Amino acid sequence: MTSLWKIAGGTIYDPANQVDGQIADVWIDGERIVAPPTDPAVRPARTIDARGLVVMPGGVDMHCHIAGPAVNFARRMRCEEKRHAEPVHRTSHTRSGTMGSVPSTFATGYKYAALGYTTAFDAAIAPLAARHAHQELADTPLIDKGFYILLGNNEYLMQQIGRGERERVTAFLGWVLDAAKAYAPKIVNPGGVEIWKQTSGGNVTGLDDQVPHFNVTPRQIILEIARAAAELHLPHRAHIHANNLGLPGNWHTTLDTMRALEGFGGHLTHIQFHSYGGGPDDQDTFCSRVQPLADYVNAHANVTVDVGQVMFGPTTSMTGDGPLGYYLSNLYGTRWFSCDVELEAGCGIAPIEYKDKSLVHALQWAIGLEWYLLVQDPWRVVMSTDHPNGGSFLAYPQIIRLLMDRTWRRDVLATVHPLLRERSLLADLDREYSLGEICIITRAAPARILGLKNKGHLGAGADADITLYTPDDNKELMFELPRYVIKAGQVVVENGEIREPTAGRTFHVAPEFDPAVRADLADWFERYYTVRLGNYPIAAEQLGPGLSPVRCGM
């Protein structure tokens, strides 16, 4: 009796292996995809008849907020939303939960899987809170996951950069990723959060502002982390939330950041929020500046972006960018949560509603779509809503429809603020995405950008994370309810029903670093932290069996 089984006769989209809509079988053994057996006498133990169905790798969300203290505060703050949202009911084999813009953990796992997504990364965890994030991810079933740690305002790092201690920067980066059991370094408003901690209303304005006390600039912080990440051979090196998020005219800063990365390359996240023209503090001149930024991306192969698409409706803004949270809560006069995390990071949360009759919001929506349509190479533009910032991950099928159906896109465009057409190129863009291109921006590209060799494709050796869709002219309908979702070789969802609530894994890196840094950190912790150095690193055995190291290498 063989353990081999197969998905038979589906229409395969596997852009990483140059397969674009061919009919073929996919063979699975245990948790992996395998090459079809050469011996024709081998019979599969079972078969899913996929004739007429579209077969893609499981979706990969490379930037979302699904775990950790900020997410959990947002859940508490938005209890009114949870009361009114359709809840997740307990079944004999699944847990109950609540929705709203910030779902509870079990609900998050079920909803991602039911959408055909099998991997998701939380983008903003302070290392001090890594234990919290790991516990939440352990309670987020079905999907594989991981998180990036906030380092762009880490005071130890800034001090070493300011003193030119480059070897110590590299060693610390390795140490802290290992200590937190994290996947990648994240840079949020480098230097800006520290200035906000020092001064009411403070922030940086550009890459070359000095951060007082530490004598570093945002440029130095970005470059040093990118350099150290390259030396450690991290699979995902620099995940950057640039300075001046959300401010009119911020596209200059964004372009400066891309230019600063020359030689290293890097990933600029929720780029939509960083592509605005107009005068600072003057909403009346707000406009799209995607074109010059997309031109830069088109000309520089080592820069990648995810979009951070805004969708109309209520949601929750949630950021490691403390001053941004304050700015948004003042702008909209809302509740405001903020938490400064010692020596490491900030956090801002505010409810927000994106309205299609607001010119600014309509522009944000259009700017996101411009990004998908103006970057020529889909391998370098990844679908995201920066969940829940621009909208929920559950909006991905709507975005797919907007990209694949220009008639629909124009119909929606006709309903939003009329001045949009003067301030954005969107009405002039005819491009439509193919299914193969959608497959790239929702799984193949994010897996490649993250350095996850076994995700985002269907070749032999890949993780058997596979989504089967029933084709439909309405792509939103097609993508919102997959026919089957297979995770690690098991059918976990059928037609939206959870069959097998498996646990999923948590990825982390374990880079090699110079252990001498610990001696210096002992003094730093003694002076400035309220937690002992001995209690800071998380030992692998303190976490569950789902912890899964990813190799650092060339």
Partner 1 sequence: MSTSSLADVVCTHCGCLCDDIRVTLGGGRITAAEHACERGRRWFLGQLPAGEQAAARPVCRIRGQAASLEDGIVAAAEILSAARAPLVYGLTETSCEAQRVAVALADLLGANLDTPTSAAGPVGLGLHSIGEVTATLGEIANRGDVLIYWGCDPAADEPRHFERYTLDRPGMFLPHGRADRAVIVVGTQPTATSAAADQFVPLKPGADFAALWVLRALVQAAPKGTDHGAADAGLDPAVVEQATGQPLSLWKPLADRMRQAHFGAMFYDAQLPAGSGGSWNVEALLALVHDLNVHARFVARALHGGGNPVGADNVLTWQTGYPYAINFAAGFPRFNPDDYRAERLVERGEVDAALILAADPRASWPAAAAERLAALPLVSIDWRATATSEQAAVAFHTSTYGIHHGGIVYRTDDVPLPLRPLLASELPSDVQILGLLEERLRRNLPQ
Residue 372 or 525 with smaller CB distance to partner 1? 525
Does 326 help bind partner 1 (rule: CB under 8 A)?
yes
Q: What secondary structure does DSSP assign to 270-310, as a single string?
A: SGGGG-EES-TT-GGG-EE-HHHHHHHHHH-TTEEEE----
- Segment interacting with partner 1, rule: CB under 8 A, options 74-82, 170-178, 373-381, 510-518: 74-82
Would you state the structure tokens that stand for residue 161, as one six-digit string? 């950069």
Query: Closer CB to partner 1, residue 184 or residue 345?
Result: 345
Given 9, 37, 69, 206, the residue binding partner 1 (CB under 8 A) = 69
Verify binding: residue 136, partner 1, rule CB under 8 A. yes
* Whole-number Å distance between alpha carbons of 77 and 90: 24
What's 49's DSSP letter? E
Q: Which of 51, 419, 461, 528 binds partner 1 (CB under 8 A)?
A: 528
Among 8, 17, 131, 233, binds partner 1 (CB under 8 A): 131
Helix (H) or strand (E) holding 267: strand 266-268
Considering only CA atoms, which of 325, 320, 338, 331 is closest in space to residue 281? 331
State in Å, rounded, how far the first CA of the chain is from the last one.
Answer: 40
Tokens of residue 235, six digits: 């699979």
Could you say which of 18, 38, 407, 530 contacts partner 1 (CB under 8 A)? 530
Residue 44 is a binding residue for partner 1 (CB under 8 A): no
Give the residue from 437, 403, 399, 409 showing the smallest Cα distance to 310: 399
Q: Give the nearest distance from C-beta 212 to partner 1 in angstroms.
A: 10
Scanning residues 197 to 256, which ones bind partner 1 (CB under 8 A)? 197-201, 213
Bridge partner list, 34: 27
Does 16 engage in binding with partner 1 (CB under 8 A)? Answer: no
Looking at the Cβ atoms of 151 and 207, the one nearer to partner 1 is 151
Candidates 27, 110, 312, 337; binder of partner 1 (CB under 8 A) is 337
HEC profile of 63-131: EECCCCHHHHHHHHHCHHHHHHCCCECCCCCCCCECCCCCCCHHHHHHHHHHCCEEEEEEEEECHHHHH
Confirm or reject binding of residue 520 to partner 1 (CB under 8 A): no
Secondary element (H or E) of residue 362: helix 359-374
* Cβ at position 501, least distance to partner 1 in Å: 12
CB atoms within 10 A of CB 180: 24
Report, in Å, the least distance between residue 129 CB and partner 1: 7
Give the one residue of 43, 46, 90, 357 binding partner 1; rule: CB under 8 A: 90
Question: Which residues contact partner 1 by CB under 8 A?
Answer: 67, 69, 71-73, 75-77, 79-80, 82-83, 87-90, 92, 95-98, 100, 103-106, 128-129, 131-132, 135-136, 139, 155, 196-201, 213, 326, 329, 334-343, 349-350, 527-535, 538, 542
